[in-house]
Each structure stands twice: as structure tokens, then as C-alpha cells.
Amino acid sequence: MALSMGVQMTNAHTFTTSMEPEREATAPDMTTQMDSVESWAPRAAPLEMPCQDIRPRARKFEYRNLLRLILPGQRI
Amino acid sequence: MRRAHMRPDPATVRTRSLAISFACLAAFSASALILEAGLQDGFQVWDALRFILVLLTTAWLAWGAALGLTGLKGRREAAEDFSKAEIDFDTAKTVVLVPICNEDPVATFARIAAMDRSFQEAALPLDIVILSDTRAPEGQAAEHAAFRRLIAETKGRDHIYYRNRTDNRGRKAGNVEDFIRTSGGAYKYAVTLDADSLMSGAALRAMIARMEADPNLGLLQTLPKIIGARSFFGRAMQFSAAFHGPVFTRGLERMQGATGPYWGHNAIVRITAFAQSCGLPTLDGPPPFGGHILSHDYVEAALLARNGWKVQADSTIDGSYEEGPENIISYAKRDRRWCQGNLQHSRLLLTPGLAGWSRVVFVQGISAYLVSILWAAFLITTVIGTILAPEPDYFPQPYQLFPVFPSDRSREIMALFLGIIGLLILPKIAVLVGSARAGRTADFGGTARALGSVLTEILMTSLLAPVLLAYQSRAVIQVLSRQDGGWPANARGEGQLSLIEAARPSLWIVMIGVAALFATWTFAPDLMPWLLPVTLPMIVAPVLIAWTSRPVSATRFTVAEDRVLPPVVSEFRDIHARWCAELTPAPTTPTPTGVPHVPA
């Protein structure tokens, strides 16, 4: 937890090699299953996720509407 | 698609009205005092500016205080305990998502191993998916190795998955969205985590049960407790979050009602609701205001509410943890990201169909950063106003026999000063008193120790306030001048800083502090006592930054987790220590420097 990013990256290579024997020792049957990174992905179950409309609607200011509101029945 | 957001219930409307009234009253009282004092030597433009600035800044402080005071009152009825609820997992299929990008894979995957064990103990048949956006080949290799270790540790090949995205579009939000588009149909709920999140099985059971109990609940946010802090600064933040956090969050729950918050992690979402509501577009124009939406969580919460889904926070769910920054530099880096994300929300204020309160939440997030600039402007206008003030006219009338002395307004200014301090401190003291009466201080080492921790934390935050104000003001100016800070990965685990390391990123603050002190001394010596609490911490910023990054013992700022370590945290530490011990040093491998930047 306290290790910095740099140290983590440094240790990454040794981690791979140092972990290999244990992996084989604890789970030998996994070697073939774990070979391909693609096989680690979750199963596909597509779901639609529509892009949302978040743009403010440009409303043109209609001054006549304002006048109609203030002066009803004036045929503006 | 549903398009009608829920109307707030009467209790929420009442709470909001009270909070708004309180903030307005405090703001107008404070600004009236400053205006009255300023008008003693006649009207100047600085008086009008100071009136507006004090109005806005005090309103903000009072709003924060109202949030705390709103949460003080306990719940009328005990929250229902969902942690042992029966759940039919054939229908409530749940996935735990861990989006990562350039994180420490050993720590991150050790957390997943600990959580998986906790889920098994709680008999939760959950899937866990690690969603990696890491692009560097060596980073990917480290993650692959850690994943192999994770699978060996947990025997979790049938329910723990890993996928690495080749296209990092949309950063974290895009990463989760990509999962929902490709695999979301297999699940009813998704628990979103950060790389430093830890959640217990009991917490997840309670969250899923709450979602099952309320079909309109689209998102449930827990209050993560900060764990693992070791520095003075980190432990003070950890204590503050644990001690004051639940009360402020309860206030937030009451204020926001069904239009609650989402903080992007340690939360559960209803996948159908999220999928139909939260597909985020890219904003027109270049960053920082255009491009991908950075602080996506607030926007997702607003969009869920827009579609009629409830978004709620629940501070009573135990077993939700995260880590916090260990020093002020890490804190300021994180704040820079959040600043850009929150200011970008100004583009979304007029989004059609949003609940009114969602817009208020956006304004609140923007104000949280703009207020720093307003405070700085207030200090500057005060100094300039004093320098440019006209000489007092003792004989305003011709042939006047006795001089007219301007009335002394020191008492009003002192009242204003004390009022502002009160708004800052009052909620914290009120939480302390309430906790002592309820026996809650026992978790924090007893009332005396909790009092010591609260006072020390107040002293620390007061000393650091000018330094944090400087960092925040710079961040706002950078964003407003269109400088994109990007969204660099979190530099977790950064710890103690030497004086040199602290001085490098804070030298500019020292220089501003010295210049301000010199200007005040030369042109407005009367203001020295008022400005020293601001300029002195700026001048000694490197010392403060380095000193607060020092590790302190667990007896300082005691929290409940120091006494009884939660099982999932203890499990994580054991696994992490074991995995780290299995590593051998590799001195020949070069260490990358700097924080990797996440590509857009």
C-alpha cells in the first residue's frame, strides 16, 4: 500500500517471475486456462446505453410573446 | 424512457428552505456589518465590492454550517438493518466493478482478494470485474501477473474477471460504460469501486437488499471511511471524516432527498437505470470546459434523477472504506482535478429536464472552488481600500467649532470576524457535544481525547487554510485561463515529504506571502494584525507541508478502526504483506518518475 508507483513498476517484472512457481504449485490446472488474457474477460451480454442529450436547448427570445402576455387581446 | 424527476417530499423542502434562509440571513448580516463599517469614511467602490464579496463568501460558509447543523438531529427511527437480509441472487445478479488505470496492482488486487473472501463469508455469489485502462506494457504485465496471483489466492477463476481496454475513451466513466455496453445485460446491479476501495460482504448485502426493497432506487451511495492514514495530515483528515462525516452526510441526505449524491465509488447502481440514463456525450470544444466530462459522478446522479430514479446516500451502512491523501501536495493535486471537473459543470447547468436541486448541486460544486478566489479578492480589496481611503475630514462644515471624529467600528469588524469563525467552528463543536452526549466519543478514545483531536484538527485546518486557498485559487485561475490539467492517475501511498520536497511546489506561495506582508507593512500597517494569520502560514508553507506529512502514532486522532480493525481491512493487510514479502527487489530495473497521464 505504501509502495510508490515507481516501486510497483519496478517490482512488476520480478513479481511475474516470483509468482510463477507458486501459481503452478497452488493451481497447476489453471496454467492452460490462464494463458490468454482475452479469456479473462467477462462474458458478453450487450446492453444498450444511449447517449444522453445534455445540450441546453437554444431558445430564441420572442419579444412578441412577451408583449402578448402583457397586453392580451391586442392582436400583436 | 421516463422523463419526470421526482418531486421532493415536504420534509426535504422544509430542510432546504431552512438552510437557504439561514445562509441568506447570515450573509446579509455579515455584509451589512462590513458595509456599515466601510461607509464611515464615505462611499468608495471598494465598499460595494467588499459588500458583494462578504455576501457571497459568508453565504457559502453558512451553507456548509447549515449542512452540519441539519445532520445533528439523530434519526427518528433506527435505520433498518439490511446486513443480514435474505436475497434471491438468481434475480439480483450483482457485479463488483473495479476500474483501474496505472494503479499499484499488488495493493489493488490484494484488496480484491480480501473483499472476495469477505463476500464468500457473507455467502454473496458476486462477480468481480477488473476494468483496466492501463496502456503502458510494463503496467499491463504487472497487472497480468497480479491477476494470476489473485486467481491462485482466491480460486476465483469462475467469478473474477479482468479486461484491458485498447481505447481509453471517456476515462473512468467510459470504462464503466464500455462494460455495461458489452456485459451489463448479465446483471441487475453493479457496485462501483475505486482502486483504493474496500467493502465488506455485509455492506454489499445491505446495499443489494436496499435496492431490492425499493424498485425506484437507481443508485445508493455509502459513506466510505478513510483508513490506513499514517501522517499527521492524513490522520487528521481520517479523524475528521469519521467523526464529522456521518453528521454532515446525514445533513446532505436530508437536504438532497431523492436527488442525492454520487461520489463515483463505494456505491451500487441499478444497471437498467444507469444504462438508460447515463450514457455521457463528449462536450463540444477543447478541455478544460469541453471534451470528456471529468467529474462524471455528479452528472450521472443528475441524469438518473432526471429519468425519475431515486439517488440516495446512506451513512448507516458500515463496512465501506477508502484511502485519503497523506500530505497537502497530494491533496492539492487531487483538488486540481476536482476543480477542473466541477468548473466544467458550468456547461451543464442548463441541461434540459434536470431536477432543480441537481442544478443547485452543480452550482454548489462550482462555488466550492470559486469561493477561494472570492476570499482572495476580499483580502486584496480590503488592503487596497485601506490604502486608498481618503483622510478623515474632522471639520466637514465651514466655521465648525469642534472636530467630528469618525466613529470607531472595530467592534462591528470584530463581531463579523467572530461570526465567520463561528460558522466554521460551530458545527464541529456541536458534533462533539452531540457525540459526547450520545456516547459516540468512546469510539474516538473517549470525550477528552476526541476534544483534543477536534481542537487540533481545527487548529491545523486554520493554519493550512491560506495555503489551501492559494492552491485552490491557482487551480481556478488555471482552469479559467483554459489550461487543461488532464486527469492524472492518483498517486496513492505518497507519504512523508522533506523540507526541500515541500518547498519546491510551495515556493510561489511563500513569495506571495512575503510580498503581501511587505505591502501591508508599508502601505496599510493598521491591517497587520488582521492579515498576519493569512500571510504567516503562507510564508512558512514548506514547513507546514513537511511537518504535517510526518508519520504520527495511532494514538493521535484516534478512530474506531484503530481499536478494532475491520476484518476486511485486516485481511487486506495480511494478503498485501504476504504478496509484498514474496517479491524480490530488482535494483537494475529503472524506476519511472512522475505520475503517468491517462490518455483521453
Q: pLDDT tens-digit profile of B198-238?
A: 999 999 999 999 999 999 999 999 999 999 999 999 999 99
Q: Could you count the other beta carbons within 10 Å of the beta carbon of residue B99?
A: 25
Q: Quick one: pLDDT at residue B406? A: 64
What is residue A14's predicted lDDT score, i.e. its pLDDT? 35
Asked if A65 is an interface residue toward chain B (Cβ–Cβ < 8 A), one would say: no
Question: How far apart (Å, rounded) are the C-alpha atoms in residues B261 and B318?
Answer: 18
User: Does residue B596 carry a pLDDT above 50?
Assistant: no
Instruction: Place B599 in a pLDDT band, splitting at 50, 70 and 90.
Output: very low
Q: Which residue has the cell 471534451?
A: B291
For chain B, say whether A54 makes contact (Cβ under 8 Å).
yes
Question: What percent of chain B has pLDDT above 90?
Answer: 78
Which residues on A lie below 8 Å from B280 (Cβ)? 51-52, 54
Q: Return d(Cα B121, Cα B123) in angstroms, integer.
A: 5
Q: Please, which pLDDT band fits residue B37 given cuts at 50, 70 and 90?
A: confident
Rounded Cα distance between A38 and B152, Å, is 18
Q: How far apart are CA B134 and CA B141, in angstroms?
A: 10
Q: Is the ipTM, as predicted for this complex, more than 0.95?
A: no
pLDDT score at B318: 94
pTM for this model (two decimals): 0.86
Min distance A66 CA to chain B CA atoms (Å) = 22
Q: How far is A73 from chain B (nearest CA, A)?
A: 32
Residue to substitute from B591, B593, B595, B597, interface A, most A β-carbons within 10 A: B591
pLDDT tens, position by position, B392-450? 676 777 777 777 666 666 777 788 888 888 999 999 999 999 999 999 999 999 999 99
Q: From the CA of A61, how many Å to the nearest CA of chain B?
A: 16
Q: Can you name the residues that pair with B311 across neighbouring β-strands?
A: B219, B259
What's the CA angle centered on B267, arms B262 and B268, to 5 degrees?
A: 115
Q: Do B591 and A6 touch (CB under 8 A)?
A: yes
Query: In which band, very low, low, confident or very high, does the pLDDT at B582 lie, cut at 50, 70 and 90?
Result: confident
Residues in chain A: 76
C-alpha–C-alpha distance, residues B378 and B579, integer Å: 53
Q: What does the alpha-carbon distance between residue B250 and residue B313 come to, in Å, rounded to a whole number?
A: 8
Share of chain A above pLDDT 70, in %: 41
Contact B475, B369 (CB under 8 A): yes
Q: What is the DSSP letter of B267?
A: E
Q: Residues B139-152: what's their mean pLDDT?
A: 95
pLDDT of amino acid B413: 77
Over residues B506-516, the mean pLDDT reads 97
Please report the pLDDT score of residue A3 as a whole number.
Answer: 35
User: Torsions phi, psi of B112, nearest 5?
Assistant: -65, -40
pLDDT, tens digit, 9 for 90 and up, residues B262-285: 999 999 999 999 999 999 999 999
Contact (CB<8Å) A23/B279: no
E strands within B246-319?
267-270, 310-314
Q: What is the pLDDT of residues B250-260, one digit of tens each?
A: 999 999 999 99
Average pLDDT, chain B: 91
A31 pLDDT higher than 60: no
Question: With 0-12 CB in 10 A as exposed, 13-18 as middle and 19+ as buried, what is B584?
Answer: exposed
**Cα–Cα distance for residue pair B181/B269, rounded to 1 Å:** 15
Interface contact A13-B138, CB threshold 8 A: yes
Please judge whether B182 and A44 are an interchain contact, meaning their C-beta atoms are less than 8 angstroms apart.
Answer: yes
Q: Are B457 and B557 in contact (CB under 8 A)?
A: yes
Q: Nearest 5°: phi and psi at B450?
A: -65, -40
Q: Give the model's pLDDT for residue B492.
A: 53
What is the reported pLDDT for B448? 96
Strands laid side by side in the B225-226 sheet: B198-199, B320-322, B225-226
- Range among A65-74, B393-402, B454-463 rated most confident: B454-463
Residue type, B36: E
pLDDT > 60? residue B589: no
β-pairing verdict for B217-222 and B267-270: antiparallel
Q: Is the pLDDT of residue B367 over 60?
A: yes
Chain B residues 561-600 with a CB less than 8 Å from chain A:
573, 576, 580, 582-586, 589-593, 595-596
pLDDT at residue B463, rounded to an integer: 96
Confidence at residue B206, expressed as pLDDT on a 0 to 100 scale = 96
pLDDT at B587 over 50: no
C-alpha cell at B437: 452526549
Candidate from A28-37, B130-139, B163-172, B431-440 with smallest mean pLDDT? A28-37
* A9, A48, A59, best to mutate vs chain B, most B CBs in 10 Å: A9
If pLDDT is split at 50, 70 and 90, which confidence band does B491 have? low
The closest of B200, B196, B36, B232 to B105, measured between CA atoms, is B196
Q: Which residues pair with A51 in a beta bridge?
A: B279
B81 pLDDT exceeds 70? Answer: yes
